[in-house]
Amino acid sequence: MKVSSLIITSSLSIFINLLAEAQNWTQFRGSNLDGKASEQNPPTHWTPDSNLVWKTEIPGEGWSSPVVYDQQIWLTSSVEDGKELFAIAVDKSNGEITHKVLLFTPDSVYGKHAVNSYATPTPCIDENQVYVSFGQYGTACLKTKTAEIVWKREDLKCDHVQGPGASPMLYKNMLILHFEGVDTMFIIALDKESGKTIWKTERPAELYAHLDDIGKKAYITPIVISVNGRELLISNGSAVCIAYDVYTGKEVWRIIQGEDSTISSPVFENGTVYFYTSFVSPPEGEKYCELLAVNPEGEGDISLTNVLWRVKSPILQLLTPLISKGLLYTIDSNSKLMCIDAKTGIILFEEKLRNKYNASPILANGCIYFPSTNGKTLVIREGKVLEIIAENKLDGQIWATPAVVSNRLLVRTSRYLYLIGE
């Protein structure tokens, strides 16, 4: 009877966890920061007028993705000039805006890139609180049920030059933020309940000293992986990718390459890390970056020992690749769709596309969704042969990575938030 009880309890726990995952999408690229919606079956076909549960006009401008916990959806927005920065809550059941909280009113607002917004970093959320960041303009924690502000930090500064981009991430009791500007570069872990600093690590100044100021910036969201029982924070910033001990911020290993900007985040599967480097300028020819596969074991400078393969790519890589079942899917900044064998680096198929894809792809029920800046979402079947399922258009542009909850798709365009599904 005790064994049976343990089996029932274990099975119930697994079911509850799967149910929670189906209902929630808690960070950039999902609760596990990997773009995968397990046990989900959202629609693959829609139009602005069909297969919609609701659509809601979102005030202001922002490229942050929606995050979801239970019936609450949260995202961020700003007025056009960046002088008012908001957190917005939407009721998942009907699309009604339940909270619009003015968090920051900066005295000075700096320029941004034409493809960026003042509200680009995606929030993260847990059962009781939502955490939002606007980079140098401020980071805050709010109660999800009441929208009461729990804490704020306005002392974390760096000159982003082209606007903020790195999303905050939750790991256990920590809220981790990546700040990499032209003046200062650091990773910081805050206590998620109080906002107080747990650790702060400066990026190695000697690796940035020879770069032009404009090349020192980066906009990536880090991930946490487990290597031989040790949790490592992987941050592929400008000039160097570094693995840190996630509990202390101490550097474990580094791979040095590049001289200007990283935007795409790292991904991980089957004991290997994959990431885009920053720019490389050869003595002759055009600048390029590389997609690297790396064995994350080891310490110190592993640049010459642990790189498993390289794929040359054009610069300014924005979207984060998606990896599943040993296959890596990406669209480069020249709009070339590729499927790459994750073990060998061999390109299994490639296709030149017409649209521009800056939002990161997601995977659900064997289908990969690639949103484009002209509002069309390309849906392909995962696998070694390209199979296009659909291309679906919505009103406006799509810069935000979609979310998947309860077999439905949340898509934010430049004007609306859509819930797509039956």
pLDDT tens for each residue of 144-184: 999 999 999 999 999 999 989 999 999 999 999 999 999 99
User: Above pLDDT 70, what percent of the chain?
Assistant: 95
| Neighbour count for residue 7 (Cβ, 10 Å) | 10
Provide the pLDDT for residue 38.
81
Provide the pLDDT for residue 20.
52
Integer Cα distance of 22 and 38 in angstroms: 7
Provide the pLDDT for residue 21.
53
Per-residue pLDDT at 3 exceeds 90 = no
Provide the pLDDT for residue 16.
44
pTM (2 d.p.): 0.93
The whole-number average pLDDT for the span 370-390 is: 97
Domain span(s) for CATH 2.40.10.480 in the chain: 63-155
Per-residue pLDDT at 310 exceeds 80 = yes
Per-residue pLDDT at 14 exceeds 80 = no
Tokens 């899917």, located at residue:
329
The whole-number average pLDDT for the span 272-280 is: 95
Provide the pLDDT for residue 285.
86
Provide the pLDDT for residue 23.
79
Phi and psi, residue 184, nearest 5°: -150, 150
CATH topology (fold) of 26-55+320-356+360-398+400-422: Lipocalin (2.40.128)
The whole-number average pLDDT for the span 125-134 is: 97
Per-residue pLDDT at 397 exceeds 70 = yes
- Cβ-in-10-Å burial (0-12, 13-18, 19+) of 48 comes to middle
What one-letter code names the amino acid at 74? Answer: W
The angle formed by the CA atoms of residues 301, 303 and 306, to the nearest 5 degrees, is 100
Per-residue pLDDT at 293 exceeds 70 = yes
Q: Output b/e per residue, 154-179; b: 16+ Cβ within 10 A.
A: eebebbbbbbbbbbbbbbeebbbbbb
Provide the pLDDT for residue 7.
42
- Band (5; pLDDT cuts 50, 70, 90): very low
- Band (301; pLDDT cuts 50, 70, 90): very high
Please tell me which residue, 82 or 13, carries the higher pLDDT value: 82
The whole-number average pLDDT for the span 395-419 is: 96
CATH topology (fold) of 166-318: Lipocalin (2.40.128)
> Mean of the per-residue pLDDT values for the chain?
93
Provide the pLDDT for residue 11.
46
The whole-number average pLDDT for the span 347-366 is: 97
The whole-number average pLDDT for the span 72-86 is: 96
Provide the pLDDT for residue 336.
97
What one-letter code names the amino acid at 186? Answer: F
The whole-number average pLDDT for the span 218-245 is: 96
User: Above pLDDT 90, what percent of the chain?
Assistant: 88
Distance of CA 52 to the CA centre of its chain: 25
**Phi/psi class of residue 178: alpha, beta or left (left: φ > 0; alpha: ψ in -120 to 50)?**
beta
Of 140, 134, 152, 165, give the one whose Cα is nearest residue 264: 165
pLDDT digits (tens, 9 = 90+) for 228-241: 999 999 999 999 99
Per-residue pLDDT at 342 exceeds 90 = yes
The whole-number average pLDDT for the span 117-131 is: 97
Domain span(s) for CATH 2.40.128.630 in the chain: 26-55+320-356+360-398+400-422, 166-318
Class of domain 63-155: mainly beta
> What are the distances in angstroms from CA 87 to CA 124, 222, 387?
12, 22, 39
Provide the pLDDT for residue 86.
97
